[in-house]
Amino acid sequence: MSGVPNGRHPEGPRFHQRAEDLPAPTPSVFCSNFIQCAIFHPVASVQRIINFVVYEETYAQKLTRPRASEENARMPHAKPTAIMLAAIATIYLVTISAQAQTSQKGISMPTHAAGPFDVKLTPQDDKLDPTLGRMTIDKQYHGDLEATSKGQMLTASTDVKGSAGYVAIERVTGTLRTAKGPRTGSFTLQHNATLTRGAPALSIIVVPDSGTAELVGLSGKMNIIISEAKHSYDFEYTLP
């Protein structure tokens, strides 16, 4: 076949083999890492589809046609169905490749910010219930995030030792050091935490669309680390 050196099929046996002698096609091999190939090597992927469809059609012919002459068996004849499938696959591959490349351009990879922070919690006497509490939050962030925050925390205690919960909202204002330089603005963090007989579970996320100024579009999650009575944070975020 034109364009194939030495008459060798790029994906399988030699073209001049008789159809009756061809092994069954192997879709699992063809589909291996298909998405990555389609995105990064669309032209090669199209050729692989065309080769595979033609080869599969040749294999199918051996089940339905009588033994052909040696000359006819040298060149597989793709049916119109195979040609249509190859054309559809070509259009599909080009489309998803363009969409994937466009999508990747707009995606920001997660980045980490870390450093210590100081916090002051001031209990408020609301006298609602002895198991419920409220505190104001006053924080100073250092390191990759140089900022202050103000917020409120609601707590709930239980009669079981080591079981409790809290929720909190804090508004952070300051400068985040990024790979593109410092970005200044503010955003809101939402806390949700439980302690189940000593086993902690904590979730701190950026409230969607809460970023302002140079932090518009900020999203992410924060983890708090307490070691030797000192607090630090690990902030995984994305920023357009």
Picking from 69, 80, 76, 70, the residue whose alpha carbon sits closest to that of residue 7 is 76
pLDDT, averaged across the chain: 76
3-state secondary structure of 97: helix
Domain ranges of the chain: 5-105, 111-238
Judged against a pLDDT cut of 80, whether residue 60 lies above it is answered with: no
Q: Alpha helices, DSSP H only, in the chain?
A: 27-30, 34-40, 42-64, 70-74, 80-105
**In sequence order, what are the residues at sequence separation of 6 or more whose Cβ sits closer than 8 angstroms to the Cβ of residue 98?**
none
Residues of the chain with pLDDT > 70, as a percent, come to 55
For residue 29, what pLDDT band results from cuts at 50, 70 and 90?
very low
Q: What is the mean pLDDT of residues 73-98?
A: 56
pLDDT reported for residue 2:
46
Give pLDDT, residue 97. Answer: 54
Instruction: Write the CB contacts of 49 (distance below 8 Å, at least 6 apart in sequence).
Output: 86, 89, 90, 93
Distance CA 189, CA 46 (A): 47
CA dist., res. 174 & res. 185, Å (int):
6
Please count the other Cβ atoms lying within 10 Å of the Cβ belonging to residue 52.
24
7-16, 65-74, 119-128, 229-238: range with lowest mean pLDDT:
7-16
In angstroms, the CA 119 to CA 112 distance is 21
| CATH fold of the domain at 111-238 | AOC barrel-like (2.40.350)
**Structure confidence by residue, pLDDT tens digits, 147-180:** 999 999 999 999 999 999 999 999 999 999 999 9
> How confident is the model at residue 91, as a pLDDT?
64
- The secondary structure of residue 22, as a DSSP letter, is P
